[in-house]
Amino acid sequence: MSNIKVLKFGGSSVKNIGRIEHVADIIASYKPHPVVVVVSAMGDTTDHLLSLAKQCTKNPDQRELDLLLSTGEQVSIVLLSLILKKKGLTAKSLTGQQAGICTTDDHGSARILGINSELIKNELFENDVVVVAGFQGVTDGGQITTLGRGGSDTTAVALAAALNANECDIYTDVDGVFTADPNVIKEAVPLKEIAYAQCVTLAKNGAQVIHPRAVELGEQYDIVVRVRNTFNPSDRGTEIKGENEVERQKQFCGVAVDSKHGFISISKSEESSNLLREITECISDCGINIENIRKSNSIDNGAKCATIQICFQYNDEDRVVDAISALSKKDEEVRVSAELDLCKVTLVGCDEQGNAPASVKLIGCLESNGIEVKSVHTGALAISCLIQKSDAQRAARLIHEEFKLANEFDSTTSDELCLIA
């Protein structure tokens, strides 16, 4: 079977019955191609289910939580299938398990091990559309798992790979991948195209339009991933694909904000030679993503003292508090302090002369406008600064203006957009 079209619709696209009707019309426009559609849960359903679980217990069991959260997508696939049938299309809904999506047993953050594509292909012989629940799968042992936030994007691209499709359309509520969050920075413009690596970097640093794992899968299987607007379906959106120039062109493509970052500082007598290992184990066990560690030695009242500073990213503030509490209780000599009200603002891309001059320019831009830069990390494709969370949006706006990102990619002035090195 060839020419299979794989589409994905996010929670905002299927928020209510009226929007699902609209989604069904978009799907119908893909005829006569066979279509596989991946859908998320309706609107804020996942957040609501998670809230219910936390009303029962502060730390819900992950296996039970996966079983609960997976029900959100099951509602969406059934409603969409019913509406497609009403519109004269033959359709069938499948859970992740019924679609043959096999995953690891990491509840809450499972990864896809393989997909039995024959199950879906067999359904396509009898149906115009197969509607698959995103965000979920099943282990070899039959346990329901979820793929983590944004997992429906990953489901869609993985299905495209398994079905040998060369494209995957991700429908959301914006016109594509923008140079910044268009809800915050009105001058932000959509990119016509962007290379996989740059899009992954944007996504990993806070741009929420697509999940980075989905983009990585697209690159791995050479699938063009297209981000499109459900409410502006005539627009082609942003194409995420490989670079085809012999020598990559160098420029910056966007700015992203990740609002949940912090520092933990831990001090103890230097005699504790295992302090670094003990701390990293404790932090990791609490599900905190460590980004940078710095160790220093000092003299405190004549005694040698070791201090470890950890820069980290987190999703659940309760887990951070639990980690700090666990460290404090573990050893009376350990002194722990934390700063959680931080965010990371990242400029993605690179400069012809390297990112060092651009780092100086970025820091100068922020500090000249009264924004304190607490730390800077420069990589091949990004420059990231840690700042106070209260300065986040102003910092992003200043960087967007300073590096003239809207001018670089204004589609009204150029039909050709360069991919970023």
Q: Could you tell me the two tokens for 133?
A: 């629940």
Angstrom distance (rounded) from CA 293 to CA 282 = 14
Give me the DSSP letters along 159-188.
HHHHTT-SEEEEEESSSS-BSS-TTT-TT-
Percentage of residues in the chain having pLDDT higher than 70: 90
Domain 253-257+343-408 has CATH 3.40.50.970: no
Query: What's the whole-number mean pLDDT along residues 133-154?
Result: 95
Q: What is the DSSP string of 256-304?
A: EEEEEEEEEEEEEETT-TTHHHHHHHHHHHTT-EEEEEEEEEEEETTEE
375 — pLDDT class (breaks 50, 70, 90):
confident
Mean pLDDT of the 25-46 span: 96
Quote the pLDDT of residue 267: 81
Query: Are 188 and 28 a contacting pair, CB within 8 Å?
Result: no
Which contiguous run of DSSP H or E holds residue 397?
helix 392-402
Reported confidence tier of residue 414, pLDDT bands at 50, 70, 90: very low
Is the pLDDT at 174 greater than 90? The verdict is: yes
Class of domain 5-173: alpha beta
Q: In what order do the strands lie in the sheet with 101-103?
A: 112-115, 101-103, 136-138, 144-146
In the prediction, which pLDDT does 409 show?
Answer: 64
**Class of domain 263-340 as given by CATH:** alpha beta
Residue 79, φ and ψ in degrees, nearest 5: -65, -45
Domain spans of the chain?
5-173, 253-257+343-408, 263-340
- Residue 320: predicted pLDDT: 72
Same fold for the pair 5-173 and 263-340: no
| Whether the Cβ atoms of residue 30 and residue 6 lie closer than 8 Å to each other | no
Q: What pLDDT is stored for residue 197 in this prediction? A: 93
For residue 270, what pLDDT is reported? 62
Please report the pLDDT score of residue 78 as a whole number: 98
Question: In Å, how far are 273, 302, 307, 368 from 269, measured between CA atoms?
Answer: 9, 11, 9, 39
The whole-number pLDDT of residue 300 equals 67
Distances (CA, A) of 421 to 17, 81, 414: 42, 42, 19
**Mean pLDDT estimate for the chain:** 88
Of the segments 243-257, 274-288, 359-373, which one has the largest average pLDDT value? 359-373
Helices (DSSP H) in 111-240: which residue ranges? 117-124, 151-162, 196-204, 212-220
Average pLDDT over residues 150-174: 96
Distance of CA 210 to the CA centre of its chain: 6
Asked if residue 160 lies in contact with residue 167, where contact means CB atoms within 8 angstroms, the answer is yes
| pLDDT given for residue 166 in this prediction | 93
Measured distance CA(136)–CA(145) in Å, rounded? 6
3-state DSSP helix/strand/coil % of the chain, to nearest 5:
35, 30, 40
Mean pLDDT of 231-251: 80
For residue 112, pLDDT over 70 is answered with yes
Can you tell me the distance from the alpha carbon of 396 to that of 100, in angstroms, rounded to the nearest whole number? 42
Burial of 14 (0-12, 13-18, 19+ CB in 10 A): buried
Q: What are φ and ψ of residue 234, in 5° steps?
A: -75, -20
Amino acid at residue number 193: E
Terminal CA-CA length for the chain: 36
Beta pairing class for 167-172 and 5-9: parallel
Q: Percentage of the chain with pLDDT > 90?
A: 67
